[in-house]
Amino acid sequence: MILLNPGPVTLTARVRAALAGEDVCHREPEFKALVGRVREKIARVYGDQPSAGTFVPVLLGGSGTAAVETMLSAIGSNENSLVLANGVYGERMAAMLKAQGKRYEIVSSPWTSTMDIAAAEKALGTGSFTHVLAVHHETTTGRRNDLAALGAVCKKVGVPLLVDAVSSFAGEEIRFEEWNVEAVAGTANKCVHGAPGVSFVLASESVFARPSGATSVYLDLHRHAVDQAKGSTPFTLPTHVTFAFEAALDELAASGGWKSRHAAYVARSSRIRAELRALGVDLLLEQESVYGATLTSFRMPAGKTYDALHAHLKQDGFVIYAGQGKFDGSIFRIAVMGEITERDLDRLVGSLRVALG
Ligand SMILES: *Cc1c(COP(=O)(O)O)cnc(C)c1O
């Protein structure tokens, strides 16, 4: 099966083989050495970006949401965050702050719109915010949010930016310094092509100069960072998944890093968009250039249903993704992360032509 949903992704043979490696205890030196290597390799993904190499990598057991929620443990209960939301994942960060009992304001936009950076700039001008939270690639629609513009505002007012980069880490450019980034949350099983089960936060040392704002025993960034700096982990990591993550990080580096991966995604997505355009299927968003590389959202053509399209493609070996929330039934999404060959794409195009032609 070729997975065209936004994670988990189709694994390479090498990553899959690593999942079936030997059993190790997470308290033994061989596993501690693995965690050390994986943390270094996470930090190296954006090693070409100024200051990215000085960020502290923290490996976590859990899905991408666990990483985002752990990242937000860096925010204190007496601090005040500004959340930009134009989709499910921005709104989820606001829900996390609410669950953590922290103060925040949300600048919401319709899911088909850009982030409202003008409103954010106005709010930040009051000087009452300590953090800005935004989603890099909003997987709800596939829009790559304009973090360059938002980050420039953050830099100007001196407020750190915390980024949900779960569906962009290793697939899109992240400019840590220029965007005033203080932390990013990412996961193994999207653009890095690992198996689901581990995720991570890359946080600036400035985060650890402040006390932990954790409201949870498990999702406490400081606690994980302190133990990992000593070569240990506070809790059991999924050992096999961590070995697979190292294999995926090695394959990422060997294949040319995030830039090559980005280019491969752009080529795949461009081909799928062109094919669907030829079949008369419209993009959900206003134009192709606002999408990131990893995923495209399309409007369901009149007379077709998501369920029938999904079933047809699945019969041919492909899993596509439905719309979330208010988009349920009216759109479909095709992601291009994971091990997908040219032959797979040829077959996908043939299958789409039959289903929608
Ligand atoms: C996938 C995703 C998440 C996390 O989802 P999990 O199911 O917890 O892995 C968070 N943010 C974005 C933008 C995502 O695409």
Q: Is 187 in the pocket of ligand 1 (CB under 6 A)?
A: yes
In whole angstroms, give the CA distance from residue 168 to residue 166.
Answer: 6
In whole angstroms, give the CA distance from residue 324 to residue 330.
Answer: 10
pLDDT of residue 274: 98
| CA–centroid distance, residue 190 to ligand 1 (Å) | 9
| CA–centroid distance, residue 89 to ligand 1 (Å) | 7
| CA–centroid distance, residue 6 to ligand 1 (Å) | 8
Most informative mutation of 92, 140, 166, 191 for ligand 1 (most atoms within 8 A of CB):
166
The one-letter amino acid code at 298 reads F
Q: Is 6 in the pocket of ligand 1 (CB under 6 A)?
A: yes
pLDDT of residue 54: 84
Give average pLDDT by consecutive 10-residue segment, the chain, 357 residues: 98 98 95 97 92 89 98 97 98 98 98 98 97 98 98 98 98 97 98 98 96 98 97 96 98 98 98 98 98 98 96 98 93 98 98 96
- For ligand 1, atom 6, which residue shows the shortest CA distance? 64
Strands 137-138 and 161-164, by their bridges, are unpaired
Most informative mutation of 167, 184, 198, 200 for ligand 1 (most atoms within 8 A of CB):
167
pLDDT of residue 252: 98
3-state secondary structure of 56: strand
Q: Is 65 in the pocket of ligand 1 (CB under 6 A)?
A: yes
Q: Is 68 in the pocket of ligand 1 (CB under 6 A)?
A: yes
**What value does the CA radius of gyration of the chain take, rounded to a whole number of Å?**
20
Beta-sheet strands, E only, within the chain: 2-3, 56-61, 80-85, 103-108, 131-135, 137-138, 143-144, 161-164, 181-187, 198-203, 295-299, 318-319, 321-322, 331-335
pLDDT of residue 271: 98
pLDDT of residue 175: 96
Q: Is 292 in the pocket of ligand 1 (CB under 6 A)?
A: no
Distance of CA 343 to the CA centre of its chain: 27
| CA–centroid distance, residue 167 to ligand 1 (Å) | 7
Beta carbons within 10 angstroms of residue 176's beta carbon? 23
Closest CA to 204 of 29, 51, 19: 51
pLDDT of residue 51: 79
